[in-house]
Chains A and B, each alone.
Chain A
């Protein structure tokens, strides 16, 4: 951690997690909370975020089993209640904004309650009840739009944009008829267009992140990464400079 702090040259930090399993009815991941406690004590963060999903289920005799991959949460009232309560606890515990990220998912037609509707309705209801904010991942929007034959602009229009604090863009790839959120390359043109569309409408956004898995970075190269970052910065400057 000290090496990372040194590399950041005193710049502020935000934290992004994938292991909390906030949407699990069985239990969330207490070890992740412990880790976040330690992190905040040693290096306070401006805000932190987590994916809306679940990775833990009930095993035999009350033990916890990990699913090995984040799974989508059904858009039900019970899910809203569980996740909103946990989000409120987290907001209070750390005293900084907590953001939930809209996930990419491949399984369609999950059970849902009509009052909640779908994943966008689920996130909206959780934010309304808990006081948390949204991390809007535009590549996930793009994935879901392709894989479930939806209009990406219509998805963005349904998001509570005034509660979006951070935006993610990334690259992906096609496998077995699905567009995969692989974080393995350059941002697709339609995702840049989504960023152009969203930024002026989301007044409280504080940052845009280009995501890439470390295993792909060497092959993609510094020049290509810089190009993606410059393009993101240009769009930011055009819409958010003031």
Chain B
């Protein structure tokens, strides 16, 4: 049996089952399949799978510490199981997996809820802090910036708190109960070029952020009434960036 085929088969068996034949596309004869099937029924194999699951859960807890810690056990446990069952938690490289984990969790949380806000806040903080050490603010925009388009910065985020962010974050830090979800929304901008990585966002900045769900030419934004200084401020913070290929 080729080493590669054996390792792939054993690795697939140890990783969470995905409903497919673990021996697909591998060159294994009947005797080799029997050998692997026998291994997979052994107590040592089952224990290895238990160790693997516990490592994957541990990595996942480390990757989404804040968000997972505020979920009730009844929500957290099935989330962790679903995440590890689809192969999550196998990567030891924290940042590579954390971003996908937050998307996975966010898709399963009620909207609006403080839990969803915290999930997006932790994700945006992680993105911004990952870039902060090497972030260099861009040069000032040229007067007409011809043909250049703007988009959201990939390391930035706009998070909507349903209530006073200070009260909500203080409750998280001190273990107090979270306040009720409010209809009043407080937007927070997170970006690698900001002092402490975050600040409250203005209504104009929220509008710009929403407008740039797809890239847009800079002159078009000006024509639509977005102030130049607001655009420049978000660019300097890394909340927006130019796309190299222009749209106009």
Contact = CB atoms under 8 A, between A and B. Distances in A.
Contact of B48 (A18, A71, A177): A71
A67 B4 contact: no
A78 interface: yes
B202 interface: no
Interface stretch (B86-94, B114-122, B150-158): B86-94
Contacts of A73: 7
B3 A82 contact: yes
B206 interface: no
Contacts of B42: 107-109
Contact of B3 (A18, A68, A76): A76
Given A78-B2, A106-B48, A67 B43 contact: no
B55 A26 contact: no
Contact of A66 (B3, B4, B50, B90): B90
Contacts of A176: 43, 46-47, 50
A24 interface: yes
B3 A31 contact: no
Given A71-B14, A108-B44, A58 B90 contact: no
Contacts of A124: none
Contact of B47 (A79, A82, A175): A175
A111 interface: yes
B11 A57 contact: yes
Interface in A60-90: 65-69, 71, 73-74, 76, 78-79, 82
B168 interface: no
Nearest to A54: B7
Nearest to B9: A57
22 contacts: A25-B2, A25-B3, A25-B4, A26-B8, A57-B11, A58-B4, A68-B14, A69-B14, A71-B48, A73-B7, A74-B6, A76-B3, A106-B44, A106-B47, A106-B51, A107-B39, A108-B44, A109-B38, A109-B39, A177-B47, A178-B44, A180-B51
Interface of B: 1-4, 6-8, 10-12, 14-15, 35, 38-39, 42-48, 50-52, 55-56, 87, 89-93
